Amino acid sequence: MRSIALIISFIVSLSAPALAQKTEIAAINAKWIELFNKGDFSGIASLYSTDATAFPPGSPIVHGRAAIEAMWKSMAEQIGDPKLTTVDVRPLGPAAAREIGTFVLKTKGPTPQEVTGKYVVVWEKIGDEWKLATDIWNDGK
């Protein structure tokens, strides 16, 4: 009986950090959407690490917060109403995690269209805060 309790305790100790990471990352994703909808691209950039890299589809690699801020500001002229769904968060150690998810957004213009896609984010814990370190996405399922 004692060995079963130890095994259960060990499994819980392994899954608790992953659950905490997923909860914290979900909160940051909600903040990202809130900031995007308010047009606060400086706020969005602050959610990224200072040396973050973004890989927007069909565009050059974007390095650093200032460039990421400009990228999202430019993209917001063409898209809106983003929604993110986290599919999986996997710990990569105590200060890193990998998130896989899907998104839905709408194009702007006379005939808005819904766009769906998927993304991968590598998160880095800096101090007590999770920051997006690597962000890549594309359309399609």
Q: Could you tell me the residue ranges of all domains in the chain?
A: 2-139
> Which residues neighbour 114 within 8 Å (Cβ) at sequence distance 6 or greater?
104, 105, 106
d(CA 119, CA 123): 13
Tally Cβ neighbours within 10 Å of residue 73: 15
Per the model's pLDDT, the better-predicted residue between 96 and 6 turns out to be 96
Q: Which helix (H) or strand (E) holds 101?
A: strand 96-107
* Predicted pLDDT of residue 140: 87
Residue 27 in 3-state DSSP? helix
Beta bridge partners of 135: 54, 121
Q: CA of 103: how far to CAs of 5, 74, 86, 100, 109, in Å?
A: 40, 18, 9, 10, 20
Q: What is the pLDDT of residues 64-94, one digit of tens each?
A: 999 999 999 999 999 999 999 999 999 999 8
Question: In the chain, count of helices (H) and strands (E)?
Answer: 3, 6
**Which two three-digit tokens encode residue 118?**
């998927």
Please state the rounded mean pLDDT for residues 112-141: 96
The residue length of the chain stands at: 141
Q: What is the pLDDT of residues 2-14, one digit of tens each?
A: 555 444 444 444 4
Instruction: For residue 58, give the DSSP letter.
Output: T
Model pTM score: 0.85
Q: Which CATH class is domain 2-139?
A: alpha beta
d(CA 116, CA 114): 7
